[in-house]
Amino acid sequence: MRPHFLFNSLTMIDVLYMKDHQKGDNALLQLNNLMRKSNEIFKEKAVEFSKELDIINDYVLLMNEKEEHKFVIDYDLKVNDFYIPPLSIEPIIENSIKYSNVNKKQNGYIRLSTSEENQIITIVIEDNGQGFDINNIKNTSIGLRNLIERFSLLDNGEVNLSSKENEYTKIIIKFRRYVPN
């Protein structure tokens, strides 16, 4: 979570309080939950996927407090009892909302699915946002490089990205199931 996210959230909450105290209270509670949970797992080497999901859900609830068009995350979790690097999926969701403009679309969605085959965990995050030219981002995106690096450190870890302008973005993460020490 970036510092500007915190400042933007506090500004959003201030505006919400001026319009509707209950919405302001809800947003402040979501921000509190999000910051507390993020802080709890930040220094861990690996976290249960379910803890990352809690953070994602709090983030989406917070973002939906300010959006005219609510968006949803569709979950298709065939497996959820595995470990991942902390705060590795949440930034993908955050970027999907921020850059794909999925939150501006009438039927915007983000889909998060998981599966496992032969001890290989697959996580797929896709949205129906505006997409982008992959060639323009692969060499410039620090966040994407960090994601690839974090998962490549895992056994059989790999990250694949596909996107089509004005249609979708899809990230596929694969790695061997592991249990942290």
Mean pLDDT of the chain: 85
Report pLDDT digits (tens) over 91-117.
888 888 878 877 777 788 899 999 999
**Mean of pLDDT values over 126-133:** 86
Residue 124: both structure tokens together: 């797929």
* Residue 57 belongs to domain spanning: 3-176
Report pLDDT digits (tens) over 134-165.
776 655 567 777 877 888 777 778 999 999 98
User: Does residue 106 belong to any structural domain of this protein?
Assistant: yes
Q: Residue for token digits 């085959």?
A: 117
Residues contacting residue 42 through CB under 8 Å, at least 6 positions apart: 86, 87
pLDDT of residue 173: 95
134 touches 159 (CB < 8 A): no
The CATH number assigned to the domain holding 78 equals 3.30.565.10
User: Does residue 159 belong to any structural domain of this protein?
Assistant: yes
User: Does residue 94 belong to any structural domain of this protein?
Assistant: yes
* Number of compact structural domains in the chain: 1
Residue 137: both structure tokens together: 């981002």
Query: What residues does 74 pair with on adjacent strands?
Result: 111
Helices (DSSP H) in 67-107: which residue ranges? 90-100
User: Does residue 64 belong to any structural domain of this protein?
Assistant: yes
Q: Which of 81, 76, 101, 87 is nearest to 45 (CA)?
A: 87
User: Does residue 45 belong to any structural domain of this protein?
Assistant: yes
130 touches 100 (CB < 8 A): yes
34 — pLDDT class (breaks 50, 70, 90): confident
pLDDT of 178 over the 90 cut? no
Q: Residue for token digits 């129906």?
A: 128
User: Does residue 181 belong to any structural domain of this protein?
Assistant: no
User: Does residue 168 belong to any structural domain of this protein?
Assistant: yes
121 — pLDDT class (breaks 50, 70, 90): very high
Residue 41 neighbours by CB distance under 10 Å: 18
